[in-house]
Amino acid sequence: MGVLRFKCSQCSEWHEGEPSTGFKVPGYLLDIAEADREARAWWSEDLCVIDSRYFFARACLEIPIIGATEPFLWGIWVSLSEHNFKDYETRLASGDPGGPYFSWLANQLPGYPSVEGLKARTFPQAGTDRPLVQLEQTNHLLSIDFHSGISEARAQELFALVLHPRSIPH
């Protein structure tokens, strides 16, 4: 399965597309009033620094879909320590992947309980590919899905939540 086609439980329409989605910025940035963002933060497509003390990198979290060749791909942001962020930034510029780096998830994913406190390791990739995130094995639903995989029905449910977002925390 590279393309997911299903009748949506949210709107009863047929949807088709790659089972993936991404966040443009870390959720923490959205918590800052829009008028204050540029004064307090800088960000690009792949890096973000807030208040010169919160450091983020864009990465990919792949959730296996059982019986499918392609995963459900979340384009997320992770929080890094200042040391790891600077190391990653330097290595990114030089083409040396470095890592892995201890990280925390920095976006709330639809269909999952709060990811606050969910630990991960971020593995930079050679070339221009975004880093891959590996979640610590816990009893959190996202960690279980990451380590055990999800059914096609669960992938459809998540995709429907992405296509029809509700108001969720970042």
**Cα–chain-centroid distance for residue 42?**
19
> Domain segments of the chain: what residues?
4-163
Q: What is the pLDDT of residue 24?
A: 93
Nearest-angstrom CA–CA distance, 85 and 79: 9
Kindly report, residue by residue over 117-144, the tens digit of the pLDDT.
Answer: 899 999 999 877 899 999 999 999 999 9
d(CA 63, CA 74): 8
Question: What pLDDT sits at residue 97?
Answer: 84
- Tokens for 136, please give them: 């610590």
